[in-house]
Chain A
Amino acid sequence: MNLIPENALVVSVLTWIKEHKLPGNLEAAGITENIDLIANGLLDSMGLIDLLLFVEEQTGRPIDLKVVEPEDICVVKNLCRIALGNNISQSMDGCEHVEPSCGNVLAAGGQV
């Protein structure tokens, strides 16, 4: 059973990002659950580590990085879903499906 509802986790994560984002990149008002935190320069790799620790603390569940794709952890909506153990293809509006990414293929030793 999830201790925190997905919507509440999203709000909590967005608040954390606004407090911890790198300076000079996007105003807080522009930070939404759908933007890529790394591609938009809101977090660097160490910021991402801190964010994952925060999310794990919120959910009480570890995130297995070996089975996630880059956009699973870099987009708040996806991250919260993964962190709660929900199916990534069942978005909150019930209409999204995330395709496997190039990054994950490479992480498994595949070709570019």
Chain B
Amino acid sequence: MSNLVVETYSRLADKYDYELNLQSCWGRAADKIQNSLVIEDNDEVVLDVGCGTGRALCQLASRSRPNVQFMGIEPAENMRKCAQRRIAGRQNISIVDGCFEKIPIDSQSVDYLFSIFAFHWVTDLGASVREIRRVLKQDGRADLFFIGRNNGHEFIRKTSPIFLKYMGPARFLESARMRTQLTKEDAVRLFSETFDPRRVSADESYETYYDSLEGHWGWWVRIEGQFVSIPPEARKACDQEVRSALSGLSTQKGIPYSIHCLHLTLR
């Protein structure tokens, strides 16, 4: 079944590692998360679900024992190609097609599963959590980082009326349904349905990043899939209105964007 988010990530894969995206609030937040990940001494298999172009996977492999096997799962074909180019020659890293709902790995084979800003794109929450449980070893660990319910509230307030106008109600709401934004409580409840609740915990953080309009525009590649339904002839005018609205948020420090990040932990 086609997935507009995956298709768009694949179409724009070459732009994903542009400096503007890497230096954006999302790039910086992702770097901070990947630097916080810890590989334990007895970990043999580490899995990154939604590995994108493989940045976190390579960084983590670089600071780990060479006998740890790293695997990246990514549904967007051209993102996988970028990741494969990045890992060229590294025997302990592999990239394969897959997604949270269907992880192509043997049951109970993963010591440590992590994911950075991918889980909110799942299309079937229940199936995704069951797959995580299936592939994790009995004592396997997981760290999932994904956006929470109140993510980007500054931008959403400014841009929603514009997107509603250009998309119309049906497409606007369909676009919203492409992502899942759970509260911390919802996330804990969801995972506790499948895992022993004593193993499940969640933290949440709100961090406001300030940037220029162009700086923020640099990460638009990450959400482009939600806007492909805007008729091409209207897209330019829509973008102009969005840029103008975001400019209105400017402060002395720049244009604010608050990332509401949920960190779901399985131990």
Once the chains bind, are B234 and A38 in contact (CB under 8 Å)? no
Is the Cβ of B176 less than 8 Å from the Cβ of A45?
Answer: yes
**Stretch of A27-35, A69-77, A88-96 with 4 or more beta carbons under 8 angstroms from chain B:** A69-77
Specify the chain A residue showing the minimal Cβ separation from B152.
A44
Q: Is A69 within 8 A of B169, CB to CB?
A: yes
Give the number of A-B contacts (CB < 8 Å). 78
Asked if B168 and A106 make an inter-chain contact with CB atoms under 8 angstroms apart, the answer reads yes
Tell me if A102 and B169 are in contact (CB < 8 A). no
A66 within 8 A of partner (CB) = yes
A38 x B160 contact (CB < 8 A): yes
Q: Does B85 contact A (CB under 8 A)?
A: no
Query: Is A65 within 8 A of B173, CB to CB?
Result: yes
Which of A48, A72, A104, A106 touches B173 (beta carbons < 8 Å)?
A: A48
Cβ B233 vs Cβ A70 within 8 A: no
Residues from chain A with a CB closer than 8 A to the CB of B21 are: none
Q: Is B223 an interface residue (CB 8 A)?
A: no
Render B167-186 as a binary contact track against A, CB cut-off 8 A, 1 for contact.
11111110111000100000
Residue B231 at the chain A interface, CB threshold 8 Å: yes
Contact of B153 with A by CB under 8 A: yes
Contact with B168, one of A25, A41, A103 (Cβ below 8 angstroms): A103
The answer to whether B165 touches A70 (Cβ under 8 A) is yes
A98 on the interface (CB 8 Å rule)?
no
Closest CB-CB distance, A83 to chain B, in whole Å? Answer: 13
**Residues in B whose Cβ lies below 8 Å from that of A23:** 150
State which of B150, B164, B176 has its C-beta within 8 Å of the C-beta of A74: B164
Name which residue of chain B comes closest to A108, CB basis. B168
Residues of A within 8 A of B157 (CB): 22, 25, 41, 44
Distance (whole angstroms) from the CB of A33 to the closest CB of chain B: 18
Instruction: Let me know if A3 is at the binding interface, CB within 8 A.
Output: no
User: Does A109 make an interface contact (CB < 8 A)?
Assistant: yes
Nearest-CB distance from A72 to chain B (Å)? Answer: 7
Cα separation A81 to B232 with both chains bound (whole Å): 33
A87 within 8 A of B: no
Q: Answer yes or no: A11 CB below 8 A from chain B CBs.
A: no
Q: Is B156 close to A, CB under 8 A?
A: yes
Contact assessment for A107 and B161 in the assembled complex, using a CB-CB cutoff below 8 Å: no
B237 touches A112 (CB 8 A): yes
- B153, B160, B161, B231: the one contacting A106 at CB < 8 Å is B231
B160 touches A104 (CB 8 A): no
Shortest B98–chain A CB gap in Å is 27
Q: Which residue of A lies closest to B149 (CB)?
A: A46
Does chain B have a CB within 8 A of A4?
Answer: no
Q: Give me the interface of A with B, judged by CB distance under 8 Å.
A: 22-23, 25, 36, 38-39, 41, 44-46, 48-49, 52, 65-66, 68-70, 72-74, 101-104, 106-112
Q: Interface of B with A (CB < 8 Å)?
A: 149-150, 153, 156-157, 160-161, 163-173, 175-177, 181, 230-231, 233-234, 237
